[in-house]
Amino acid sequence: MIKLQEEINRVIEELLEEDETNITDINNLIYAAATIMTQTLNEPSKISKNRRNVKFWKIRMQKQISSWTKELSITDETGKVSDNGKLNRKKRKIFQKYRVTNAREVAQLIETLKQKVQAKAQRIRRYEKMEIQSSQNKTFNLLSPNDDYSRRTTPLTSKCCILHIYSTNIGTEYFKRDI
């Protein structure tokens, strides 16, 4: 990612050296660079999956979801007549696990399992979104309103800071464009 950022900075510097650049061209250039960085950050990694890339929390949640969906599909077959002994044994185990005794409780169990699957899947999506936001925030060294300027590692006019400011303010009145 640092290589990409350096490449983008190099290209921007080359294009800004031209004499005939106006503010619209600079805005379009910064917008394009910010778009490329954002798309690159959001793409899945092409690195081989090794132990460092495995997110154990995600694997654990996916296992829970798969077990709930198995139980849900088996429980959903309750209303249908089946002579399959293996399926009937699985149904009995699930009913014992959740202490289901009548048809009303079966319907309630089906709804509960559906809601559990949806909630866990939503949690995974929320965690992944937070991870992406966190990695993007770490990319840019931003100032807070009361920040001490002497401890900054990058100047305020650095390319990454300008790209971030532009990408976060793209919808404001200062950066309106004809699309």
Boundaries of every domain in the chain: 2-45+55-141+154-175
pLDDT of residue 76: 87
Return d(Cα 36, Cα 4) in angstroms, integer.
9
Query: pLDDT tens digit string along 33-76?
Result: 778 777 777 766 555 555 566 789 999 999 999 999 999 999 88
Q: In the block, which residue shows the tokens 């050296």?
A: 17
Query: pLDDT tens digit string along 112-152?
Result: 999 999 999 999 999 999 988 887 777 665 555 555 544 44
pLDDT of residue 136: 77
pLDDT of residue 116: 96
Q: Are 175 and 36 in contact (CB under 8 A)?
A: no
Give the contacts of 51 (CB within 8 A, at least 6 positions apart): none
pLDDT of residue 16: 73
Return d(Cα 150, Cα 119) in angstroms, integer.
46
Residues in the chain: 179
pLDDT of residue 4: 75
Q: Are 113 and 71 in contact (CB under 8 A)?
A: yes
pLDDT of residue 68: 95
The mean pLDDT value for 81-87 works out to 77
Query: pLDDT tens digit string along 3-25?
Result: 777 877 777 777 777 666 677 77
The type of residue at 148 is D
pLDDT band at 154 (very low <50, low <70, confident <90, very high): very low
Residue 131: count of CB within 10 angstroms of its CB: 12
Residue 105 pLDDT exceeds 80: yes
Q: Phi, psi (5° rounding) for residue 49?
A: -80, 110
pLDDT of residue 32: 79
